Amino acid sequence: MEEEKKVSFFKRIKIAIFNLENYKIFVNERFSKAIKYIFSLIAIVTIILSISTTISFRQRFDKLVSYLETSFPEFVYENEELNVNENVNAYDEEYEAKLIVDTGDVTDEQLENYKEEASEGYYSLILLKDKAIYTIAGYEYQATYSDFFNSLGIESFSKAEIFENYLNDDGIVKVTIVMFIYAIIYLFVSNILVIIEDILIIAIFGWICSKICKVALDFVNNCKLAAYSVTLSLILSTVYSIVNTFTNFQIKYFSLMYMIIAYIYIIAAIMIIKSDPNRTVGQEVPVGLSNEKNNEEIKDEKLEDKKDKEEEQKEKNQATKEKKNRGKKKSKEDNKKELEGDSLPNGE
């Protein structure tokens, strides 16, 4: 097999987006290089998204801390129960967050009413005497204070102690770091699972297209193409996620557009491979074999063929010219003999 050329990571991104005619370079490489590329791209995307997620979290957390310090009533947690001086019913339009606090004796009917009110927000938190109920996008979760605080070794605290021991500058920095680490782990794992699934779907689509187009690309080679075909989609998805995080801007069919772009890239790559100048009509294109030639070699071969044809034509012309010259010389000799024969005396 011919020696693989070293292509830097960022040059691969450029080729994947702008130079589809060079996708054959990727097909001729080992499958491990495609895996290394997509994992590196996912790692970079994960770091970027983790930073934006952490910044967004920090903004919301700072707003929450400010609200607790200035507007939230005094409270005390002891004997596994939370006691707040007065009930709270608040809604934040910017973050679509609902907060309900009632640490008295809440009946089942009151609790159902609170849950119905809480459904107004994308995020909601209901603080009761012995437990907290929180919802995110309609999914409800419950946790008792005793289970949560006992696991942390905390038996009691007040509002003043919370700010003194936990929500000071050092505490906020620690929370931010923990959030960043959590975001990296969560996003990296989820991105790997989602993107690998997308690559497999695109590779199956590419394999079907290559069969229809009579391009000899097996499933592994289609996986290589798919890994690079998702590059632009992944970059656009990252930009969209960042914009959505800070502005709540949404594109209704973005996930569909994400896949369509990748499909277009892999189809275009297959069609470019099909249009190989060395390919004869009806012949399948043997991609990824040891005799595969890049564009430079093809151009060199064309020049060599052209030179050979020119040399062959020159030789033919020279042979024709020499033949004509020999014919003319022979004709002159024959004419000369005839003239000499006519000039002899009659007696001879």
- How does DSSP assign 240-276, residue by residue? HHHHHHHH----TTHHHHHHHHHHHHHHHHHHHHHT-
For 53, other C-beta atoms within 10 Å of its C-beta total: 20
Q: Residue 123 pairs with which residues in a beta bridge?
A: 97, 136
Please report the pLDDT score of residue 326 as a whole number. 67
For 281, other C-beta atoms within 10 Å of its C-beta total: 4
Please report the pLDDT score of residue 1 as a whole number. 43
Q: Nearest to residue 234, comparing CAs of 27, 46, 8, 36?
A: 46
Q: Is the pLDDT of residue 291 over 50?
A: no
CA-CA-CA-CA torsion sign (262, 273, 15, 5): positive
> Do the Cβ atoms of 75 and 85 come closer than 8 Å?
yes
- Measured distance CA(243)–CA(223) in Å, rounded: 30
Q: Is the pLDDT of residue 146 over 60?
A: yes
The average pLDDT across 55-78 equals 93
Against a cut of 0.85, is the pTM above it? no
Q: Is the pLDDT of residue 3 over 90?
A: no
Please report the pLDDT score of residue 58 as a whole number. 95
The average pLDDT across 20-39 equals 94
- State the average pLDDT for the chain: 86
Please report the pLDDT score of residue 285 as a whole number. 46
Residues of the chain above pLDDT 70, percent: 82
For 301, other C-beta atoms within 10 Å of its C-beta total: 13
- Measured distance CA(178)–CA(175) in Å, rounded: 5
- Measured distance CA(280)–CA(295) in Å, rounded: 17
Domain boundaries, the chain: 9-52+178-286, 80-155, 294-341
DSSP letter (8 states) at residue 139? E
Please report the pLDDT score of residue 138 as a whole number. 84
Residues 6+ apart with CB under 8 A from 23: 15, 16, 225, 228, 269, 272, 273
The average pLDDT across 62-90 equals 93
The average pLDDT across 94-123 equals 90
Please report the pLDDT score of residue 95 as a whole number. 81
Q: Is the pLDDT of residue 314 over 90?
A: no
Two tokens, residue 34:
């495609």
Please compute, for residue 265, the number of CA atoms within 13 A of its CA located in the half-sphere on the CB side.
Answer: 30
- Measured distance CA(160)–CA(115) in Å, rounded: 29
Q: Is the pLDDT of residue 336 over 80?
A: no
User: For residue range 149-196, what is the model confidence (pLDDT) as tens digits?
Assistant: 999 899 999 999 999 998 999 999 999 999 999 999 999 999 999 999
DSSP letter (8 states) at residue 66? H
- Measured distance CA(277)–CA(301) in Å, rounded: 11
The average pLDDT across 4-27 equals 91
